């Protein structure tokens, strides 16, 4: 690797042991110097959690061959912070997170550790991309999507990205040659209709498992869910300013 190679931080929320991150490392390695800092165990659904009340452990791991890699006890967001401030000693040129086992379209972006790592990268002012595949299988075939993932990463490395914005990339569960292309989208207005599976343990005490169904409330043609259903890879430019500017002015006239 030449010394002016771009520095690419790879993380995820499914842990260093997931096939998705192993595939992403393979795809990113020809494009720059890759360093992996990722959780040592699954952290799906961790959102933007950080570890405040416990210390974090971090160990060098070897499963990525020649690629420098660390497994941490922290969350995906912790991993990005540790990478920048403890391991790399500099800001990377790009943060890529994933490839997630399962999609993170629509409001799932808020629950997703994979996307929160990318959002944390954006907060650090770095080009950042989260990748997710609409397939939860542990042995899903991620490598077939290399042409798309590689193209998106190369674009970010050469053309840059909008400041303080990351890309939320979702790949539909289709064979590579059935994918219709890449489409920029808005975050679909869709929600979980939650319910809990209530069970009784061996001591007669109840416990609860979160479950539910996902449904789009106001389907729009520009949404990520719509693009995925039509066979496209969706990209939502994603920011972290949660101010609802559409109502901000009218709020100012409230009598409070």
DSSP assignment string, 33-47? EEEEEEESS--TT-T
User: Which range in 28-36, 63-71, 136-144, 230-238 contacts its own copies by CB under 8 A?
Assistant: 230-238
119 part of the interface to its own copies, by CB under 8 A: yes
Residue 194 found at the interface with its own copies (CB under 8 A): yes
Residue 208 in the binding site for its own copies (CB under 8 A): yes
Report the residue from 14, 40, 78, 103 that binds its own copies according to the rule CB under 8 A: 78
Q: Give 113-153 as a 3 state SS string.
A: HHHHHHHHHHHCCCCEEEEEECCCCCCCCCHHHHHHHHHHH
Q: Which of 17/107 has CB closer to its own copies?
A: 107
If you search the block for the tokens 């920011």, which residue do you land on? 239
Q: Which long-range contacts (CB under 8 A, 24 or more apart) does 240-246 make?
A: 240/119, 240/122, 240/123, 240/164, 241/164
In the range 172-191, which residues lie near its own copies by CB under 8 A?
182, 184, 186-187, 189, 191
Residues in the chain, total: 256
111, 143, 173, 174: which one contacts its own copies (CB under 8 A)?
111
CB nearer to its own copies: give 17 or 186: 186
Q: Applying CB under 8 A, which of residues 155, 157, 174, 179 lies at the interface with its own copies?
A: 155
CA angle 183, 174, 180 (to 5 degrees): 35
Q: Is the CB of 110 or the CB of 174 nearer to its own copies? A: 110
């Amino acid at each position: 690797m030449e010394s002016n190679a771009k520095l690419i931080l790879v993380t995820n929320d499914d842990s260093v042991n997931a096939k998705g991150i192993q595939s992403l490392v393979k795809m990113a390695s020809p494009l720059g110097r890759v360093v992996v800092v990722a959780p040592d165990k699954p952290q799906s659904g961790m959102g933007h959690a950080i570890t405040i009340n416990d210390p974090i452990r971090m160990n060098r791991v070897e499963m990525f061959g020649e690629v420098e890699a660390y497994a941490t006890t922290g969350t995906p967001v912790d991993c990005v912070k540790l990478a920048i401030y403890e391991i790399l000693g500099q800001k990377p040129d790009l943060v890529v997170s994933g490839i997630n086992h399962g999609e993170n379209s629509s409001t799932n972006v808020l629950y997703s550790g994979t996307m929160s790592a990318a959002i944390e990268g954006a907060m650090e002012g770095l080009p950042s991309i989260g990748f997710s595949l609409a397939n939860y299988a542990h042995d899903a075939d991620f490598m077939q999507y290399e042409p798309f993932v590689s193209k998106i990463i190369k674009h970010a490395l050469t053309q840059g990205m909008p400041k303080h914005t990351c890309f939320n990339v979702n790949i539909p569960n289709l064979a590579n040659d059935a994918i219709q292309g890449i489409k920029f989208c808005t975050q679909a207005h869709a929600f979980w209709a939650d319910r809990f599976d209530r069970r009784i343990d061996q001591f007669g005490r109840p416990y609860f498992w979160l479950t539910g169904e996902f449904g789009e409330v106001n389907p729009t043609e520009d949404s990520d869910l719509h693009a995925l259903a039509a066979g496209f890879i969706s990209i939502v430019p994603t920011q972290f300013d949660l101010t609802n500017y559409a109502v901000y002015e009218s709020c100012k006239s409230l009598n409070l």
